[in-house]
Amino acid sequence: MFGNKTSAVATIRLILIPIFVIVVIIGSGGAYLLLRHDAMVRATETARLVLNTAVAIRGYTQDQVLPDVAKAPTSQFYETGVPAFAAQSVYKRVQGMNPAYSYREPALNPTNPNDRPSSVEVDLINRFRAEAQLDELTGIRDSDAGAVFYLARPIKITNADCLVCHSTPDKAPPSMIAKYGPSNGFGWQLNEIIGIQTLTVPIAEQLKGSVELAISLAGGLLLVFVVTYFVLTYTLQMTLVRPLRELTDAAEAASVTANERAAINVSGTKEIQDLADSIARLRLSLMKALRRLASGEPPKA
């Protein structure tokens, strides 16, 4: 007994299935990663543009608004002259129209209690404080509006004038102390990272679209495979397996007859027909050789 006999079509099927699985995984998975990367790139570009706008608002407030506010009576604290307050106020209006967009300037020890950081923001601030070379952090996190992309930059005290209001309570304007108290927003040091600018932009729809496109690609690959699978196996069955089976039956029938002229008629490709003719010639030569041996005639050289 020889080993198990497996048909050519069955062998091809066994080869095609794992190839298809690998192609689907690589194709759809690769497409998802590329689409997700593209969504991240576009979200980063949008976030940087919007965050640069916030930086511009801070700069305008610092250079154009604050000098005029400084001329006002000191009996009242004017929040409109604070760059951080101006930038966040503008973006609160933006957030009112687009809830998934938000801009904040949380600090570990903020003057305004509304700027107290969340646990996620505390982690970002501490990372900037621990890694001074970092100038930007990005990522994706969950929110009430779904997945959002965030971009964060450190807020570093580089202007000594800021310490007039944030070093110790006795140096701060009395109107500021009256509004926020003597315990918030003090003890800051020059060149210290005290908080972050953080902006979030919506990305849930883009990520959902990436998944949907990857699924569509997988469905398309499945359709292509099914069509290819049946066309290829049917073609092999008709052009190779069936003609070879006919050739086997014809050769077996010819091998049990003494008629030298018994034909081995098969249909199929040129190669199959050439093989049938070769078997017929081999059979004829073998019968002639056996006949000479039976008559005692020496075989021809």
Average pLDDT over residues 225-249: 78
As a whole-number percent, the residues of the chain with pLDDT over 70 amount to: 78
The CB density around residue 17, as the number of other CB atoms within 10 Å, is: 12
Q: CB of 89 within 8 A of CB of 153? A: no
- Cα separation values, 41 from 19, 34, 48, Å: 32, 10, 11
Residue predicted with more confidence, 20 or 259: 20
Position 290 confidence tier, pLDDT thresholds 50, 70, 90: low
Q: Is the pLDDT of residue 282 over 80?
A: no
DSSP label at residue 192: -
User: What mean pLDDT value characterizes the chain?
Assistant: 79
The CB density around residue 167, as the number of other CB atoms within 10 Å, is: 17
Query: Which letter, b or e, does each residue of 20-40 get, where b requires 16 or more Cβ atoms within 10 Å of its Cβ?
Result: beeebeeebeebbeebbeebb
Q: For the ranges 9-18, 19-28, 173-182, which has the lowest average pLDDT?
A: 9-18
Position 167 scores a pLDDT of 84
Residue predicted with more confidence, 287 or 110: 110
Average pLDDT over residues 162-190: 84
Give me the half-sphere count of Cα atoms (radius 13 Å) on the Cβ side of residue 247. 20
Q: Is the pLDDT of residue 50 over 80?
A: yes
Q: Is the pLDDT of residue 257 over 70?
A: no
Beta strands of 29-72 (E only): which ranges?
none
Q: Of 42, 250, 270, nearest to 151 (Cα)?
A: 42
Average pLDDT over residues 51-78: 79
Residue predicted with more confidence, 272 or 88: 88
Position 2 scores a pLDDT of 46
Phi, psi at 140, each rounded to 5° = -125, 135
Q: CB of 149 within 8 A of CB of 136? A: no
Q: CB of 141 within 8 A of CB of 207? A: no
Q: Is the pLDDT of residue 223 over 70?
A: yes
Distance of CA 59 to the CA centre of its chain: 37
Q: Is the pLDDT of residue 124 over 90?
A: yes
CA 30, 33, 39 angle in degrees (round to 5)? 140
Average pLDDT over residues 150-158: 89
Position 196 scores a pLDDT of 92
Q: Is the pLDDT of residue 154 over 90?
A: yes
Query: Which letter, b or e, does each residue of 258-292 get, where b requires 16 or more Cβ atoms within 10 Å of its Cβ?
Result: eeeebebebebeeebbebbeebbeebeeeeeeeee
Average pLDDT over residues 226-233: 84
Average pLDDT over residues 160-171: 81
**Structure tokens given for 257:** 């007859």
Kindly give, in sequence order, each residue whose CB lies less than 8 Å from that of residue 132, ignoring residues fewer than 6 positions away: 193
- Side by side, which strands form the sheet with 193-202? 102-104, 193-202, 146-156, 137-143
Q: Is the pLDDT of residue 1 over 90?
A: no
Q: Is the pLDDT of residue 3 over 50?
A: no
Q: What CA–CA distance (Å, rounded) separates 24 from 216? A: 11
Report field, pTM of the whole predicted structure over 0.75: no
Q: Is the pLDDT of residue 261 over 60?
A: no
Kindly give, in sequence order, each residue whose CB lies less than 8 Å from that of residue 17, ignoring residues fewer than 6 positions away: none
